[in-house]
Amino acid sequence: MVDDDNSELEARLPDQDYYRPPPEFVGQANVSDPAIYDRFEDFPEGFEEYAELLEWESRWDEVLDDSNPPFYEWFVDGELNASYNCIDRHLDERKNQTALLWEGEDGEQRNITYQDLYREVNKMAAALEDAGVEEDDVVTLHLPMLPALPITMLACARIGAPHSEVFAGFSAQALADRIDDAGSDVVVTADGYYRRGDLLNHKEKADEACELAEKDVDKVLVWERHEGELHPDAELEEGRDVLVSELLANNERTRVDPVTRDAEDPLFLMYTSGTTGKPKGCQHRTGGYLAYATGTSKYVLDIKPEDTYWCAADIGWITGHTYIVYGPLSLGTTSVMFEGAPDHPHKSRIWEIAEKYDVDIFHTSPTAVRQFMKWGEEYLEGYDFDFRHMTTVGEPIQPEAWNWYYEHIGDSDAVIVDTWWQTETGGHLITNLPALDDMKPGSAGKPAPGIQPAIYDDRGDEIEPASGRAGNLVIERPWPGMLQTVYGDDDRFIDEYWRDFSETDSDDPEDWVYKTGDGAVHAQDGYFRILGRLDDVMNVAGHRLGTMELESAVSEVEEVAEAAVVSRNDPEKGEVPDVYVTLREGVDPGGIEDKIVAAVERDIGKFARPNAIVIVDDLPKTRSGKIMRRLLENISNDDDLGDTTTLRDPSVPERIRDQLQD
Contact flag: residue 393 with ligand 6R9 (CB under 6 A): yes
Contact flag: residue 567 with ligand 6R9 (CB under 6 A): no
What are the two backbone dihedrals, phi and then psi, of residue 348, each rounded to the nearest 5 degrees?
-110, 10
Residue selected from 419, 443, 502, 547 as contacting ligand 6R9 according to rule CB under 6 A: 419
Candidates 248-256, 449-457, 529-537, 549-557; binding stretch for ligand 6R9 (CB under 6 A): 529-537
Residue 370 vs 544, nearer CB to ligand 6R9: 544
Contact flag: residue 396 with ligand 6R9 (CB under 6 A): yes
Preceding amide of 44 cis, omega within 30:
yes
Give the number of residues in contact with ligand 6R9, rule: CB under 6 A. Answer: 23
Contact flag: residue 444 with ligand 6R9 (CB under 6 A): yes
Contact flag: residue 530 with ligand 6R9 (CB under 6 A): yes
DSSP 111: E
Residue 349 vs 544, nearer CB to ligand 6R9: 544
Answer positive or negative: Cα dihedral of 209, 211, 216, 219.
positive
Contact flag: residue 518 with ligand 6R9 (CB under 6 A): yes
Read off the amino acid at residue 549.
E
What beta strand segments (E) does 490-610 contain?
A: 514-522, 528-533, 537-540, 543-546, 560-570, 574-583
Near ligand 6R9 in 36-55, by CB under 6 A: none
SS (H, E, C) 156-182: HHHHCCCEEECCCCECHHHHHHHHHHH
C-alpha 506/C-alpha 12 separation (Å) is: 40
Q: How far is the CB of 483 from ligand 6R9 (least distance, A)?
A: 11
Candidates 62-70, 221-229, 317-325, 507-515; binding stretch for ligand 6R9 (CB under 6 A): 317-325
CA Rg, the chain, in Å?
24
Contact flag: residue 295 with ligand 6R9 (CB under 6 A): no
Q: How far is the CB of 117 from ligand 6R9 (least distance, A)?
A: 25
* Contacting residues for 64 by C-beta, under 8 A, at least 6 apart: 44, 47, 72, 73, 74, 76, 478
User: H helices within 498-608, ranges in order?
Assistant: 547-555, 592-603
Residue 514 pairs in a beta bridge with 475
Residue 540 vs 597, nearer CB to ligand 6R9: 540
Q: How far is the CB of 531 from ligand 6R9 (least distance, A)?
A: 8
C-alpha 264/C-alpha 291 separation (Å) is: 12
Q: How far is the CB of 288 from ligand 6R9 (least distance, A)?
A: 17
C-alpha 385/C-alpha 367 separation (Å) is: 21
Residue 114 vs 421, nearer CB to ligand 6R9: 421
C-alpha 657/C-alpha 650 separation (Å) is: 13
Contact flag: residue 399 with ligand 6R9 (CB under 6 A): no
Contact flag: residue 539 with ligand 6R9 (CB under 6 A): yes
What are the two backbone dihedrals, phi and then psi, of residue 70, each rounded to the nearest 5 degrees?
-95, 25
Read off the amino acid at residue 191.
D
322 in Cβ contact with 429 (< 8 Å): no
Residue selected from 22, 277, 488, 532 as contacting ligand 6R9 according to rule CB under 6 A: 532
Candidates 97-105, 157-165, 285-293, 315-323; binding stretch for ligand 6R9 (CB under 6 A): 315-323
Contact flag: residue 283 with ligand 6R9 (CB under 6 A): no
Q: How many Cα atoms occupy the beta-carbon half-sphere of 605 within 13 Å?
A: 20
Point out the residue whose Cβ comes nearest to ligand 6R9.
423
Q: How far is the CB of 515 from ligand 6R9 (least distance, A)?
A: 11
Contact flag: residue 298 with ligand 6R9 (CB under 6 A): no
Contact flag: residue 423 with ligand 6R9 (CB under 6 A): yes
Residues engaged in binding ligand 6R9 (CB under 6 A): 272, 317-319, 393-396, 418-423, 444, 516-518, 530, 532-533, 539, 544
